Amino acid sequence: MDILSYVLQQGINGLQLGAVYALIALGYTMVYGVLRLINFAHGDIFMFGAFVAYFLIAKFGIPIYLVFIITMLACAIAGYLIEKIAYKPLRDAPKISLLITAVGVSLFLEYFLSLNAIFTPNYIAFPRPFDVKGYDLSLFTITNVQIIIFIITFVSLFLLYLLIYRTNYGRAMRAVSHDKETAALMGIGIDGIISFTFIVGASLAGVGGILYGIAYPQINVFMGIMPGIKSFIAAVLGGIGIIHGAVIGGLIIGICEVFVSAFLSSTFRDGVIFIILFAVLLFKPSGILGKRIEKV
Amino acid sequence: MLLNVQGITVNYGSISALRDVSLWADQGELVSVIGANGAGKTTLLKTVSGILRPAKGNIEFDGRDITRLRPEKIVKSGVVMVPEGRRIFPDLTVKENLELGAYTIKDRHLKKTLFELVITTFPRLKERLKQHGGTLSGGEQQMLAMGRALMGDPRLLLLDEPSMGLSPIITREIFGLIELIRREKSISIILVEQNAHMALEHSQRAYVLENGEIVMEGPSSEIKHNPRIIDAYLGV
């Protein structure tokens, strides 16, 4: 009984982390879909979101629902600008140039924002907008933070689902990610859809940043690196380019990480995730839901 | 004159795929372009639809210069292409494929009218609206590709190898539908085909494209009886 409740408890904790990874992984996978690019700067958008939320809460005392809206807007603008400035001029360049640029954008954001005048390189305590309360459900405890993370992630995923499967823009996005040239022949403005994809992906990363700040209340300009890489691995695990895959991958990675910390040692936490990446690339490079292997 | 292509040259790197090609089409006319594989037929259609840019020459549609417009603007102006190999979106349903075709149409009422038109022209699609595009047969996919193009309310339809990979019976059915679209809706059609026999049978005028140049043009009934054409394209 004890071990069961321990496993369940860790499972809940894993889902909490996995939900955040899923939100970030979606951005990787959607951008990959339309541009065949691994946007390495995506983890930094997540960090940017956490900082925007920090300033809104700590300095301006803005109500939490407004924090979500403003942070998503700020991240959307950041994502839009990154695509416009850094990636769009390389539309016809070799893919490798785009990839190297993405690494450059990521490093630029991290080191530029770590200037003392901006976010500083220090760890900053993220103010919790409410007190943490635990609810004992006999087998395990769930906190209000976890409940909020689950609800907000679920709502975000549901809205994303509606957007992608029920709107013209979503249909156009799917068409562009399948076949750009034919999409253009339908009268779809490819550049507009690519911008739109960055905007949606960045907004979700912003939500992830806020939730991460609330759950693990210490933020830093380099906080996007590891969650970014892990979410990228989550997207690969689920099948890069596949929306559902990113969610499944994110949850699996989150649970794995927490279980390794709980049952093995937190030292192996990150290493195991990379072993998962190696295993996926070796045995099923197209990921869990992937049907075919994309040529990059 | 609805479409007027004047002396276009298109290059892929240092190789020129089209050299000084001119072609025109009237309202409600079915014009075919025949030629061997690699003659530049697809390049011609892709240039008209804005996917490729000509190095020289210009393209006028309905008296307006569309040479440098982006593909989505060209679709909006009324030129819609059905690409070679249909290029259906396989993971989207038949209905979603059709809706994508109407991406540039904002007027809901018009959208509905176009949908009804497509469904009555291609009744076979009606039974398959909820199916994924990838599950259709070749002939049905061709119908879907043409229906999807009609959803964009075109005045000029560019058809790239509609008979490709289809059995003679299905090819005949598709050509019957092409004929129907032209007649009933007075939509102009430029048809690019390797199946010269079918193309010349159904078109009013034809162009013969060889190695990126137009080597012959005229009424299809004349070209059909030209000994050189019979030899090169219609041989038994």
pLDDT tens sequence across B51-65: 999 999 999 999 999
Give residue-wise pLDDT tens across range B101-138: 999 999 999 999 999 999 999 999 999 999 999 999 99
Residue A242, min C-alpha distance to chain B (Å): 12
Q: At what angle do helices A168-178 and A190-215 cross, to 10 degrees?
A: 100
Asked whether residue A296 is domain-assigned, the answer is: no
Report whether pLDDT(A50) > 60: yes
Nearest CB among B75, B83, B92 relative to A187 is that of: B75
Asked if A186 lies within 8 A of B49 by C-beta distance, the reply is: no
Report whether pLDDT(B94) > 80: yes
Best of B47, B53, B72 to disrupt the A interface (most A CBs within 10 Å) is B72
Residue A278 per-residue DSSP state: H
Asked whether residue A289 is domain-assigned, the answer is: no
Asked if B75 lies within 8 A of A178 by C-beta distance, the reply is: no
Q: Of A69, A73, A88, A72, nearest to A31 (Cα)?
A: A88
Chain A residues closer than 8 Å to B104 by CB: 186-187
Query: Please, which residues have CB within 8 angstroms of residue A285's CB and are 6 or more apart in sequence?
Result: A293
Query: Please, which residues have CB within 8 angstroms of residue B147's CB and are 6 or more apart in sequence?
Result: B98, B101, B118, B121, B122, B125
In this structure, are residues A44 and A82 in contact, taking their beta carbons and an 8 Å threshold? Answer: no
Radius of gyration over alpha carbons of chain A, in Å?
Answer: 19
Asked if A184 lies within 8 A of B91 by C-beta distance, the reply is: no
Strand partners, B214: B209
**Interchain contact A92–B (C-beta under 8 A):** no
Domain boundaries, chain B: 3-232
Give residue-wise pLDDT tens across range B146-205: 999 999 999 999 999 999 999 999 999 999 999 999 998 889 999 999 899 999 999 999
Chain B residues closer than 8 Å to A292 by CB: none
Asked whether residue A294 is domain-assigned, the answer is: no
Q: Of A83, A104, A79, A80, nearest to A35 (Cα)?
A: A83
Kindly state the tokens that stand for A259.
Answer: 């279980």
**Interchain contact A172–B (C-beta under 8 A):** yes
Give me the number of domains chain A comprises.
Answer: 1
Percent of chain B at pLDDT > 90 equals: 90
Best of A186, A188, A291 to disrupt the B interface (most B CBs within 10 Å) is A186
pLDDT at residue number B236: 56
pLDDT at residue number A171: 94
CATH code, domain carrying A140: 1.10.3470
pLDDT at residue number A1: 58
Domain with A131, as residue range(s), is 2-283
Half-sphere exposure of B173 (CA within 13 A, CB side): 15
Give chain B as a DSSP string.
--EEEEEEEEEETTEEEEEEEEEEE-TT-EEEEE--TTSSHHHHHHHHTTSS--SEEEEEETTEE-TT--HHHHHHHTEEEE-TT----TTSBHHHHHHHHTTT---HHHHHHHHHHHHHH-HHHHTTTTSBGGGS-HHHHHHHHHHHHHTT--SEEEEE-TTTT--HHHHHHHHHHHHHHHHHH--EEEEEES-HHHHHHH-SEEEEEETTEEEEEEEHHHHTT-HHHHHHTS--
Give the Å distances, CA to CA, from B189 to A55, A114, A273, A291, B192: 60, 60, 56, 37, 10
Alpha helices by DSSP H, listed for chain A, are 2-35, 42-54, 64-82, 95-113, 144-166, 168-178, 180-185, 190-215, 225-238, 243-263, 269-283
The pLDDT of A101-108, averaged and rounded, is: 97
| ipTM computed for the complex | 0.92
Asked if B71 lies within 8 A of A168 by C-beta distance, the reply is: no
pLDDT at residue number A292: 60
Give the Å distances, CA to CA, from A272 to A22, A260, B64, B89: 18, 8, 62, 38
In this structure, are residues A159 and A23 in contact, taking their beta carbons and an 8 Å threshold? Answer: no
**Average predicted confidence (pLDDT) for chain B:** 94
In degrees, rounded to 5, the angle at the alpha carbon of residue A196 between the alpha carbons of residues A195 and A199 is 90
Give residue-wise pLDDT tens across range A285-295: 999 998 765 44
Asked whether residue A133 is domain-assigned, the answer is: yes
Q: How confident is the model at residue B39 (pLDDT cuts 50, 70, 90)?
A: very high
Asked whether residue A288 is domain-assigned, the answer is: no
Of A115-119, A253-257, B135-139, B231-235, the one with minimum mean pLDDT is B231-235
pLDDT at residue number A28: 97
Q: Identify the architecture of domain B3-232 in CATH.
A: 3-Layer(aba) Sandwich (3.40)
Q: How confident is the model at residue B235 (pLDDT cuts 50, 70, 90)?
A: confident
Chain A residues closer than 8 Å to B148 by CB: 186
pLDDT at residue number B167: 94
CB pairs below 8 Å between A and B: how many?
61
Asked if B71 lies within 8 A of A187 by C-beta distance, the reply is: yes
Asked if B100 lies within 8 A of A186 by C-beta distance, the reply is: yes
CA A257 – CA A268 distance, rounded (Å): 9
Place of tokens 């030629």: B35
Report whether pLDDT(A296) > 50: no
Dihedral through CA A145, CA A149, CA A152, CA A156, nearest 10?
A: 170
pLDDT at residue number A262: 94
Query: Please, which residues have CB within 8 angstroms of residue B14's CB and are 6 or more apart in sequence?
Result: none
Kindly state the tokens that stand for A180.
Answer: 């750009």
Strand B156-160 relative to strand B30-34, pairing: unpaired
Kindly state the tokens that stand for A96.
Answer: 């490798």
